[in-house]
Structure 1
Amino acid sequence: MQGHIGVQVPVTVRTFTQLFSCTPRGARLARRLVANRMDAWGFAYDSQASESVTLVVAELAANAVTHGRVKGRDFRVRLLMRADEDVVRVEVSDGLTERLPVLRESADPGEENEGGRGLLLVDALADRWGTALCTGDTYKTVWAEIGVPGT
């Protein structure tokens, strides 16, 4: 409605939030449930959008389990998508705030510790990504925004 100041048009926001055990099994389940949610939102399992979002979740969940684990605490996955935007925001939160993810530009192929390569995938697939310390620094969130044109 043009000319009406203060009139807000409601926007549908799709969300998915789930806690997972901070184990490899929890990370696998996160990936599967996100693929299912993307399908429910109209992005087929084999679509580029679904595969990109699912891969980003898989990498961030694996990082939460491997590098963000705090005994007795779960990790959380949240997806957000506004109906008026072609972007899915992925958020993976874990309890280890002392250790923030670091993007390594390259890894030595002969290097025994191959850590850091998952973030290279996240960086390649996401339009942007970052980290945030939350709620009095009791947990951290690694987020990524992935373009998903067309439903």
Structure 2
Amino acid sequence: MTAPPTRPGRVIARTFRQRLSPTPRGARLARHLALHQLQDWGIPHGSDVSDAVAVIVAELAANAVTHGRVPGRDFELALSLVTGSIRVEVTDTRADADAVIDVRRPRPLAEAGRGLVLVGALADRWEVVDRQPPPGKTVRAEVDVPGWLGLSRRGEGP
């Protein structure tokens, strides 16, 4: 795990929040919604930032559906355009945050276990925090946006 995503002095410019069904279809929809939202914020589809966020959302949503699912309870996707980065938060209602933190490289031929390794590789910062209000957990990741000043000066950002 890397340094926590929250840095002092950061301003949240825009947010997107959506509750989704804890199904494979809900996880797939989370990824599509994230890509659409980034496009609306001026981060083009196919850019390094967009591709990294797409993988992070896909992995965290798949984990929420597979490991964080509680029958009858949705998971939530939140995106924030903060100064200099995109913050991704995926929240579920299973209260076992300690189980998520232990990230190990899977064996070469293992069929699972790469999700958080990918998140760690693609995110500039990430962490697991308790859901507010409990029960549950939120996995939060941030991807820095290169050229942030140029983006906001052109009017495509905040």
TM-score (normalised: structure 2): 0.80
Which structure exhibits the higher relative contact order, with contacts defined as CA atoms closer than 8 Å and separated by 6 or more residues? 2
Larger radius of gyration: 1
Q: Does 1:146 align with 2:143?
A: yes
**CA separation of 1:75/1:136 partners in 2, compared to 1, >3 Å: closer, same or farther?**
closer
Q: Does 1:61 align with 2:61?
A: yes
**Aligned match for 1:92, one of 82, 90, 93:** 90
**CA separation of 1:121/1:12 partners in 2, compared to 1, >3 Å: closer, same or farther?**
closer
Q: Does 1:124 align with 2:124?
A: no
- Contact 1:103 1:116 (8 Å CA) reproduced: no
Q: Which residue of 1 aligns with 2:108?
A: 109
**CA separation of 1:70/1:146 partners in 2, compared to 1, >3 Å: closer, same or farther?**
same
C-alpha separation in 2, matches of 1:146 and 1:64:
20
Matched length: 137
C-alpha separation in 1, matches of 2:31 and 2:91:
15
- Contact 1:103 1:119 (8 Å CA) reproduced: no
Aligned-residue Cα RMSD (Å) equals 1.6
Q: Which residue of 2 aligns with 1:4?
A: none
Q: Which amino acid aligns with 1:32?
A: H
TM-score (normalised: structure 1): 0.84
Secondary structure of residue in 1 paired with 2:101: coil
Secondary structure of residue in 1 paired with 2:76: strand
1:37-65 residue CA offsets vs partner (Å, 9 max, x unmatched): 00011011111111111110110000000
Unaligned runs of 5+ in 1: 1-10
Q: Report percent identity of matched pairs.
A: 49
Secondary structure of residue in 2 paired with 1:116: coil
- Contact 1:56 1:121 (8 Å CA) reproduced: yes
Secondary structure of residue in 2 paired with 1:92: strand
Q: Does 1:134 align with 2:131?
A: yes
Q: Which residue of 2 aligns with 1:13?
A: 13
